[in-house]
Structure 1
Amino acid sequence: MELTAKEMEIRLGKKEIVKNVSIQVKTGQFVGLIGPNGCGKSTLLKSIYKSLVPQRGSVFLNELDVLKSSEKKVSQRLGVVGQFNEMHFDLTVQQMVMLGRTPHKRMLESDKQEDYRIVEDALTRTRLLDYRERSYLSLSGGEKQRVILARTIAQQPEFMILDEPTNHLDIRYQLEILTCVKELKIGVLAALHDLEMAAHYCDYLYAIKDGEVYAHGIPNRVLTPEVIEALYQVKCQTYINPVTNGLGFAYGI
């Protein structure tokens, strides 16, 4: 199984945001997009999960043409966890997570025992069983994001897109969410700001600069002082983090 986006071009107004970008994610692979604010990461992801219409390009989940298929058919195979998930009406945590079963149901079809089993598994994976009767609106930002992740897990997608889902969260919730996603062992495409997180969780990286792929490869080959300076205009030295045994970064201007 593969998620592939080929020759993607996206304009917002008269400005070209994404310029001929091609990426690939294989089953079980955690692929990260890195780059400065405004480089086109989130715009590219939005076009892949059909929130924006690209001017050019194609997106396939194996044989499924994502851009030409119905939202329901795509949602049966592709899940999305975004950055902001505000609501103006309230549901319990379990009701929110049960919404993840919607793509697999017919119109007005009631919830079945199998749906409840899948939802309970999603709540367990995200450590939310004790929250199941809590009001979603009463939760903290990190807890809400875990609920959205649980809802996406309940979709049982073959691939998942993370559109900067941890950008506004403290370190604990960042680790919880990314660890949970990694343990699913499905294909993941994630836009990430924290380079140490990208180095630790990602199997492969695409570095985006000015809407184009500037570099790509395994983290150790992409996260070099030269590439980081080119992307972010900061000096950087890398080292081995004694806690994670992975790459660490020291910055200067």
Structure 2
Amino acid sequence: MVLSVKNLSVTYGTKQVVDNINFSLQPGAVLGLLGSNGAGKSSTIAAVLGIENSTHEELTIFGKSPIVNRKEVFQEVGVQFQETNFQDKLKVQEACEQWESLYNQTNDVALLLQTFGLTGKESQLVESLSGGERQRLAVLLALIPKPKLVFLDELTTGLDTMARRMLWKQLVSMKEKGLSIVLTSHYMDEVEALCDKILILKEGKTVFYGTITEAILASNKSTLEDAYLYFSGEENWS
């Protein structure tokens, strides 16, 4: 088991933003964590990573606590946040070197730069990159530690269609080699291309957990997008 989460809850003050959710992940599997803005997706990821305080019956990554065994666990975990903040005047190569220094084993950075279309950008300041290039760099950095598990928050926001499909192809290839992924996304074509299971949150509660086919059948809809809108409650928005 790569990841096991049982009865995880997160509370801010008196407001419970994640309410007793459960999910698990096997090697080489991809889970899509879905829901409207404010549904609890980012809080869930932060709690699983031990960044956010939580209560839980079980929370393990590779059978170990990401809180108690943090340093050991995170040698095998990559994380890309939706808003990755880079230091001022940091060059692409320097960003890669900083990430490399944190891990015992790393992927070939030159190959990653080539894969993500950033070869030749090594000496550029990160702040001078386009939004799409910065997004690709953030994903690249998450993959530097040869992770067995990676968390991707709004993976392809800001990328054009060609760049999105290139990234999907690369992740599918890595998935086939055993990489497990938890991703959040508002793009249902992305979810269909990558995810084995989905968990849909609404106001911090699980409203659906299962395969895409099961979601479509359970919602009595004909597409994943319509099923998602049904479960998330967004189909009633005007």
Greater alpha carbon shift after TM alignment, 123-132 vs 167-176: 167-176
Distance 1:204 1:27, change over 3 A: same
Aligned identity (percent) is 22
Deviation, 1:139, is: 0.2
Root-mean-square deviation (CA, aligned residues, Å) is 2.3
Contact 2:135 2:158 in 1 (8 A): no
Superposed, 1:1-253 pairs within 5 Å as 1-70=1-70, 72-105=71-104, 118-185=108-175, 186-223=179-216, 224=219, 225=221, 228-234=229-235
Q: Tell me if the contact between 1:149 and 1:177 (Cα under 8 Å) persists in the aligned partners.
A: no
Mark the runs of 5 or more structure 2 residues left unpaired by the alignment. Answer: 222-226
- Cα distance, 1:133 vs. partner? 2.0
**1:227, CA displacement in angstroms?**
5.5
Aligned to 1:242: none
| Code of the aligned partner of 1:85 | T
Structure 1 gaps of 5+ residues are 106-113, 236-251
Tell me if the contact between 1:83 and 1:166 (Cα under 8 Å) persists in the aligned partners.
no
In the TM superposition, what whole-angstrom CA distance separates every residue of 1:151-202 from its partner, at most 9, and x where no partner exists? 1211111100012233454444433433332321100001111122212221
Paired amino acid for 1:180? Q
Q: Which has the higher strand share?
A: 1
In structure 2, what is the Cα distance between the partners aligned to 1:200 and 1:28? 14
Q: Which amino acid aligns with 1:35?
A: G
In structure 2, distance between residues paired with 1:88 and 1:123: 19
Task: Tell me: CA distance 1:90–1:181, structure 2 relative to 1, closer, same or farther (3 Å).
Answer: farther
Equivalent residue of 2:7, what SS?
Answer: strand
Deviation of 1:57 after TM superposition, in Å, equals: 4.1
Equivalent AA in structure 2 for residue 100 of structure 1: W
Distance in 2 (CA, whole Å) between partners of 1:172 and 1:131 is 19
Report the TM-score, using the length of structure 1 for normalisation: 0.80
Q: Within 2, Cα distance between the matches of 1:133 and 1:23?
A: 42
